[in-house]
Amino acid sequence: MPDCRYRQTKALDWYMKQAGRFPLLTPSQEIGLATDVQKWVTTENPDAITVRRGKRAFNKFFNCNLRLLAKVSGKWLLVCAHLEADDLVQEGAIGLSRAIIKFDPTRGYKFSTYAWFWVNQSMSRAVGYYDRLIRLPAACSQALRRVRNMTPGFLAEHGRMPTMSECAASAEVTETNMRLYFRHFEVPISLNVPVKSIAHGSKQPEDMINLVVSDHAPPEEALDRRVELDGLERALKGLSAEHLEVIKLMYGFNGEKPLSLRATCMELKIPQKRILELDQEAREYIKAHGQYLGLCVA
């Protein structure tokens, strides 16, 4: 009976139920089916009967060994960060089909022993290609995997973490390369991953991005602010140079500190009454032609 950890999705649940319908093959059945498959794939111009028997034997061979995929995927499921069990099983099915075609029944080996290497290779390549958001070279992934597997036993035996040179010796790489590989030891995660918000006192899962501390405004607020500023710029283009100069000085549109009425008068050398008239006219124009009055009359 398959382990409960493999029952993660409805698709995988259906897959394991289908696998249970097919009994395991006896050694004599494996030899007979493998012989039919080899006749089909090795014959240059097979006849219709050979093709039909070969395909039938291939399908039966494949269906009766589906349990092997679940068994091998259990090992890789422990080291995966993003791939699920059904992803590993699908990749392992590619290796299983390859093993059926390459299996030679005359060598006297059991098929599951031979197929294990093909299935394991397919799953290991899938982990290297698709499990990380940023793909690493195969040598780097293999070295990090060896260090990760070696560390618990080393810690239990010596009571300390291994040094860089000891990690390099265990991974069979140079110490320089080991230092470069350790830069990618941590696995990046998506900001959309649902997590439990303990800090906010909520038991409902929320996205990781909501828990990231930032001094800047949220992206949606920054976008709204940019839209408002663009609209205000379009509204100010209709003002005269005199009105625009008064508005810029009094409300700091140049990125500078806004000036008081008295400072504006001294800067432009215009009476206060005229400054107030220009300010009022500019306000009325923006109110009539713009939608962002709140920005300039705060």
CB of 67 within 8 A of CB of 116? no
Q: Which pLDDT belongs to residue 125?
A: 86
pLDDT at 3: 44
Residue 66: CA count within 13 A, CB half-sphere: 20
Looking at the predicted structure, is the pLDDT value of residue 224 above 50?
yes
Cβ pair 296, 284 in contact under 8 A: no
CA–CA gap between residue 295 and residue 251 (Å, rounded): 9
Residue type, position 197, single letter: S
pTM: 0.55
Lowest average pLDDT, out of 51-55, 60-64, 254-258, 274-278, goes to 254-258
Residues shown for the chain = 298
CA neighbor of 70 nearest in space, from 8, 131, 147: 8
C-alpha–C-alpha distance, residues 70 and 162, integer Å: 34
- For the chain, list the strands marked E by DSSP: 194-196, 205-207
SS (HEC) of 241-284:
HHHHHHHHHHHCCCCCCCCCHHHHHHHHCCCHHHHHHHHHHHHH
Task: Fill in the DSSP letter of residue 195.
Answer: E
Alpha-carbon distance 140 to 178, whole Å?
Answer: 8
Question: For residue 5, is pLDDT > 70?
Answer: no
Q: Tokens at residue 226, please?
A: 């940019």
Confidence of residue 54 (pLDDT cuts 50, 70, 90): very high
Give the residue carrying structure tokens 């992934």. 141
For 145, phi then psi, to 5°, come to -65, -40
Element (H, E) at 14: helix 10-19
Mean pLDDT of the chain: 79
Mean pLDDT of 82-110: 89
Query: Based on the number of CB atoms within 10 Å of its own CB, is 116 exposed (0-12), middle (13-18) or buried (19 or more)?
Result: middle
Find out whether 265 and 271 touch, Cβ atoms under 8 Å. Answer: yes
d(CA 1, CA 172): 39
- Mean of pLDDT values over 31-53: 90
pLDDT score at 52: 93
**DSSP-assigned beta bridge partners for residue 220:** none
Phi, psi of 196 (to 5 degrees): -85, 125
C-alpha triplet 77, 82, 85: angle, nearest 5°: 40
Cα separation, 206 vs 212, in Å, equals: 12
What is the per-residue pLDDT across 121-152, written as a single tens digit (0 to 9) for each? 999 888 888 877 778 787 888 888 888 888 88
Q: Which residue has better confidence, 74 or 10?
A: 74
The single-letter code of the amino acid at 20 is: G
pLDDT tens for each residue of 194-214? 665 544 455 555 666 666 666
pLDDT one-digit tens code per residue, 266-283: 888 888 888 888 888 887
